[in-house]
Amino acid sequence: MRWKGHRQSSNVEDRRGKGARLASGGGKMSVVTVVIVIVISVVTGKNPIELFQMVGGSNQGSSPSQNSAPVAQRSAAEKELAEFAKTILASTEDAWHAEFKRRGSNYPAAGMVIFEGNVQSACGVNSERTGPFYCPGDNKMYLALGFFRQLQQMGAPGDFAQAYVIAHEVGHHMQNILGTEKKMRQMQRQDPANKNKYLVMLELQADCYAGVWANLAQQQKNWLDDGDVEEGLQAAASIGDDTLQKNAGRRVDVESFTHGSSQQRVKWLRQGMRTGDISQCNTFGN
């Protein structure tokens, strides 16, 4: 991708070196807290010492303290990855602003938090080991740049593969502002036996939206090189649930899928790329 020189998003918060961590020790509990813990211990039969430790940790750590250690000097490669992420986020803003305007509405842009270690979001504390994620509670996607190295190890190298991951998370933002995410949760509550099936539909739609972004961004910027599309499709194939299960030495269990098979992910990413039309991304009806 010829991404250098393009606009970078200002909707990015860099929390590297400020990883969320639970504070420990030192704090005093109120009398009310002590009484509540004792009551819970009596009712549940749990060890009160363990409960006091849990409450003490939550009282001091529910709003994780920020590590005040100085930020390590970043390598040129890390700086470039951060610039890349900001540029891709900006391109999603440009693409979706234009598309929403064409449809007669406004696009409220997603935020991005770059982090390492653990991070606090409106959805709780998450580790970078969970991979990139979007939190509908604060309209932000959370990205540890180290995931891009993992992506390469999983057989999905290249900058467009990395861009696809960002665009997929922004696809979840689209689902949030369009109300799809909320409807999916309602479907899960009404039909809990098929909870994973509805989650897969949501993930596949985010893949399709990522493909639509790729189509729209290419029209705006003409920045794709030969082989970029193949990188994105290879990334989609590499992180399909069946492929991940096989690579982990496990049997393929369709019932446990949460993101879709490699074939499904490639299909819907390609659908978005080919059509450039979000109305063609109805994974819930196909």
Q: What is the pTM of this model?
A: 0.81
Q: In the numeric block, which tokens belong to residue 37?
A: 């813990």
pLDDT tens, per residue, the chain with 286 residues: 999 999 999 999 999 987 554 433 444 445 445 445 454 544 444 554 444 445 444 444 444 434 433 445 789 999 999 999 999 999 999 999 999 999 999 999 999 999 999 999 999 999 998 899 999 999 999 999 999 998 888 888 899 999 999 999 999 999 999 999 999 999 999 999 999 999 999 999 999 999 999 999 999 999 999 899 999 999 999 989 999 999 999 999 999 999 999 999 999 999 999 999 999 999 998 5
Q: CA-to-CA distance for 188 and 73, rounded, in angstroms? A: 45
CA-to-CA dists, residue 93 to 10, 170, 171, 219, 261, angstroms: 11, 9, 11, 14, 29
Q: What proportions of the chain, in percent to the nearest 5, are helix, strand and coil?
A: 60, 10, 35
